[in-house]
């Protein structure tokens, strides 16, 4: 049903969906980078690992989430 309505009402449905997916990806990536940057800026270990954090920031897809020991 949704596919039939979609094909009747939109001229280029695949292009529209791909554009929306791209915009969503860019928005999420920007927010992720901003949140990680703010986290590093206000982290208590900022002075210790500042240089290594700069190197790791360009390899964000390889970083593993590390929870602080409490």
Instruction: With beta carbons less than 8 A apart as the criterion, state whether 67 and 39 touch.
Output: no
Residue 70: inside a domain, yes or no?
Answer: no
- For 60, residues 6+ apart whose C-beta sits below 8 A from its C-beta are 32, 33, 36
pTM exceeding 0.75:
no
Residue 56: inside a domain, yes or no?
Answer: no
Residue 17: inside a domain, yes or no?
Answer: yes
Residue 18: inside a domain, yes or no?
Answer: yes
Residue 32: inside a domain, yes or no?
Answer: yes
Instruction: With beta carbons less than 8 A apart as the criterion, state whether 22 and 1 touch.
Output: no
Q: How far apart are CA 44 and CA 46, in angstroms?
A: 6
The count of domains in the chain is 1
- Which structural domain, as residue segments, surrounds residue 40? 2-44
Residue 26: inside a domain, yes or no?
Answer: yes
Q: Three-state DSSP class for 12?
A: coil
Residue 57: inside a domain, yes or no?
Answer: no
Residue 66: inside a domain, yes or no?
Answer: no
What is the per-residue pLDDT across 21-59, written as a single tens digit (0 to 9) for each? 999 999 999 999 999 888 888 876 655 555 565 555 666
């Amino acid at each position: 049903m949704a596919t039939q309505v979609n094909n009747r009402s939109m001229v280029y449905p695949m292009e529209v969906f791909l554009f929306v997916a791209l915009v969503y990806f860019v928005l999420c990536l920007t927010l992720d980078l901003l949140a990680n940057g703010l986290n590093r800026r206000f982290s208590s270990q900022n002075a210790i690992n500042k240089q290594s954090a700069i190197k790791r920031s360009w390899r964000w897809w390889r970083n593993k989430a590390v929870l602080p020991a409490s």
